[in-house]
Amino acid sequence: MESVILDWLNLVVRWTHVITGIAWIGSSFFFMWLDAHLEAPGPGKEGVEGELWMVHSGGFYEVNKFQAVPTAIPRTLHWFKWEAGFTGISGLILLAIVYYLGAEAFLIDTDVADLTRLQAVAIGVGTLVVGWFAYDGLFASRFGQQNMLIANTISVIVLCLVAVGLSQLFTGRAAYVHVGALVGIVMVINVFVRIIPAQRNLIAARNAGDEPDPTLGKRAKQRSVHNNYLTLPVVFIMISSHYPMTFGHPQGWFLLIAISISGALVRHWFNLRNASTLAIWPIPAAVVIFIAVAAWASLPTLQAERSAASAEAVSFSKVRSIVDARCIVCHAARPTYEGFDVAPKNIRFDAPAEVRKHAAAIKKTTVDTNTMPLGNVTEMTNEERQLLGGWIRAGANIELAK
Ligand code: HEC
């Protein structure tokens, strides 16, 4: 009962999160594009830095970008912040629904670290809170302002260490999502605490006839640049839960860092292109990193498959007993594991044909990676994983007589 309601709540919150996330990223991409395509203003346009014309859905639009805060601020001025705000709020609710209410299955893996639910949730929430204050403190400090390159380097290194650290404490998937949540939260709070206030300050100063404080503008710009480079990595992290070969890899943190770097490189290429620089190098660099890391991560699996190809066939009765012991508590028409009312993803192993049908997915989650059983709650052994692998490689035969 409870889990049925949670599933629906999960759906509506995730839906909201994706919609608001698209709106946020979409508007930020759009403004980047606008900035890059402005042309010198025509004659008679006082104070205009650039202009451009667009046509969309049968309507023609003219945009003027002003050099400074215009002398008369129009009564209706559109701000762009609620896309970010709702993405952040819905993301945190989703984090709580999936990983904190479902901590035993999704957050904690006692093979990784023997944490209680309270400890694990405290580490998760603590990472987000401490992470924001450390980041903001660094970049708000005189040191961070004066040594941007060093501060950027430090923050990237610390973020990598957070990824390594969390992977020693949580399930791979929860470690990934917490790194993504930290980055996402930093981006959202940047908008509300550093970027929007700087813009308000500009307007207030203009209204009062004062000169705006340039440090606020400079700081806001720095935070915008951070948000810009973090966008593609954070989107990768958010979709990574569909790919057990990433978060489920023994060095999943390394894949997270490397793929995020390739995302940031692609973003860098966008920025160069928007700045009308034709440099293309970030794209091949991103592709090389991505391919190298994909090859590095999958080679052992491919080798293991080849060397085990000739191993003795595993009987289905053996497989049946493993699945019954390790999977069926959740993956059955009527799961018995607490908090599961229906089989997750409708994957059920009640009948032999169903086990066979999901053989490829079983290999991905249970043999090539240890992402199933969730949090290894049923304490599956490596030997059992190898047996399942042998059975699948030999053709996933379900004839009991064999
Ligand atoms: C504690 C409950 C639990 C146990 C035990 C469990 N699973 Fe799962 N399984 C889940 C949940 C929950 C999901 C859905 C995960 C998600 O939302 O992405 C899932 C998803 C899957 C998927 C689909 C993965 C995908 O990415 O589409 C497969 C395949 C799978 N499980 C196989 C197994 C096998 C094989 C076992 C036993 C070795 C097992 N599971 C044990 C809870 C469990």
> pLDDT tens across 177-188, in order?
999 999 999 999
| Other CB atoms within 10 A of residue 149 CB | 7
Q: Tell the residue nearest (CA) to atom 1 of ligand 1.
A: 374
Does 75 reside within a domain? no
pTM of the model: 0.87
Does 52 reside within a domain? yes
Contact 331, 347 (CB under 8 A): yes
CB-count burial class (<10 Å; 0-12, 13-18, 19+) for 9 = middle
| 162-176, 200-214, 373-387: the lowest-pLDDT one | 200-214
Residue whose CB lies within 8 A of the most ligand 1 atoms, among 13, 242, 331, for a mutation test = 331
In angstroms, what is the span from residue 371 Cα to ligand 1's centroid?
8
- pLDDT, mean over the chain: 91
Q: Tell the residue nearest (CA) to atom 9 of ligand 1.
A: 344
Boundary of a domain, candidates 301, 327, 344: 301
Helix spans in 309-401 (H): 316-326, 352-357, 359-362, 382-393
Boundary of a domain, candidates 272, 301, 330: 301
Give the count of domains, the chain.
2
Boundary of a domain, candidates 273, 301, 329: 301
Q: Tell the residue nearest (CA) to atom 3 of ligand 1.
A: 330
CB-count burial class (<10 Å; 0-12, 13-18, 19+) for 353 = exposed
Q: Tell the residue nearest (CA) to atom 14 of ligand 1.
A: 344
Does 307 reside within a domain? no
pLDDT at 357: 92
Give me the domain span that covers residue 150: 2-63+81-301
For tokens 């961070």, what's the residue?
144
Q: Does 290 lie in the same domain as 170?
A: yes
Q: Does 297 lie in the same domain as 320?
A: no
Does 74 reside within a domain? no
Q: Write out pLDDT tens, residues 64-84.
A: 988 878 777 888 888 889 999
Distance in angstroms (rounded) separating the CA atoms of residues 385 and 319? 10
Q: Does 87 lie in the same domain as 59?
A: yes
Does 233 reside within a domain? yes
Contact 100, 126 (CB under 8 A): no
CA angle 54, 55, 58 (to 5 degrees): 160
